[in-house]
Structure 1
Amino acid sequence: MKKRVLMFLEIGLIVLGLTACGTTSRQLTATDLPNASKYEPTLFFHGWGSSYRAEEQMAHALVNAGLTKTIMRATVSKQGKVSLSGQFREGDYHPIVEVDFKDSRQSNPRQWGRWAKATIVKLQQRYHTKKFNAVGHSMGNMAIMYELLDNTPGLPKMQKQVDIAGHFNGILGMNDAPNRMKLYSNGKPKKMQADYKTLLRLRKTYPKNQIAVLNIYGDKNDGSHSDGSVSNASSKSLRYLVSERAKSYQERKIVGPRAQHSKLHDNVQVDRLLIQFLR
């Protein structure tokens, strides 16, 4: 009899323990966070064929610089469903959200824009997010640009936009070649690629005096005036699309071997620019 009683007591304690674990792991929502509207997350968008791992150095650089203590992740499935892991922390108003697109070899930039929008909507639903920052590398920049092109009313407002190695008007070896693309003094390409022509609408719809823009591009200093994958002219063509409506617009060039396209997201100079700009 005593053995039975002890067994039931042990089972009861195990159940209570599991219940307690479930409670502590519950995701915080806006109702759990005082001043929920004050939280302004920074979303990182990786490039084509990549993953959230490409965002890790930049994210941890911001943490080490004291901008935040929170890194969470938004995983976007091939079907566009967003799941969040980690959570905002009370009083840490500038959390980082590493976005991970599972279908990262999708070549349609409009689809990337839909996924970016789905991520923003998810954060709005859970945390009542009203403002956010966005950092893109390579194709991640197109996710940002096409999300802005969608111009859906009622979504959180972007405050700062960082574009790293953006191929706004073409990619070397596909629709561009070293030193071929030319820009007018205002950044307008003398010859526009199809995606760029689509993005031209932003010249009239980009949020007026709302977003501060930092455009970072790499020059390997090998005579190609490119980061090896994207010409500097293609990256700098962003200016014509947004500068007249942006709150501010600045360009920064990274030079040398570490300025190669896929190394820019692991570049300490880029980290410093991000810290300074997002602080």
Structure 2
Amino acid sequence: MKKQISFSTQGHRADIGEMVIYRILPNRYAEAVGPFVFLDHLAPIKHSTDKPKMKEGTSAHPHRGIATLTYVLSGEGEHFDSRGNHAKVYSGGVQWMKAGNGIIHDETMNPDSQTGNPEMHGFQFWINLPSNIKKEDPEYLSINANEVPQMQLGEDNGWLKVIVGRYEELASKIPDYSKQYLYHIQLKEGKQFSMSTEKELEYAIFLPAHDLTINDTKFVAGDFIEFDREEGTIELTNTHEGDVDIILFGGEKYAEPILAQGPFVMNTMSEISEAYNDFHSGKYDKVVYVK
């Protein structure tokens, strides 16, 4: 039986400088999908040749209680934080940061210096942490494109990358603290892909650039689609002229209270107050920019 679709919606604009940003999650229908409580889509843009490259990001800012995950489809992402972590990833790379009990970070997004491609395109997710993990020290991990687990789909239908979690024999390097997954699927023109789902797990799809038929219903570029909680099959059919990229993510429902305010996601209002107090008192330190 094909899985039922609960709703679909589109994001709203939340631009930063020249970057065209669409806030996909939370939205008017859902505050989370599994542990994922936030998704921003950096729509594809070409960097203007007359503008300088970004050197110090959009501005340093704090986080607590979540893990941030930046997936760079095309471009060059650079990370700095107040624990001294610094790294660059290029097209296809991933940056994961466990904010834990508090950190300040900044990220830049520039054209890929390895390929010379001027296009910048990517995503940032926030993954909610269990209350005990929110108390731990921050951690950071960068994963280059060639380290992201990938498999070819049968009958030359396309490929699937595991950004978070597991799929068949593939497993991401990114730590997970509950059953969760984030897949990037590329489906070739005229091809189809089906996957079975588990009861009670939450599933959502985002279509960054092209239309796609999902369980016999056509959706358009920019659509966010969420499914019901019953077992079933998700069937993807590409009737578009060319390859289609699909972001599929979700997992176990977050079982604890969710209280989000600004850059902090905690379980109680007192924890939110503590997060702000610690930030304003300087406990998160300052970002060190590496030249």
Q: TM-score, normalised by structure 2?
A: 0.27
Between structures 1 and 2, the one with greater helix share: 1
Q: Which has the higher contact order (CA 8 A, sep 6+)?
A: 2
Bigger Rg over Cα: 1
Q: TM-score, normalised by structure 1?
A: 0.28
Between structures 1 and 2, the one with greater strand share: 2
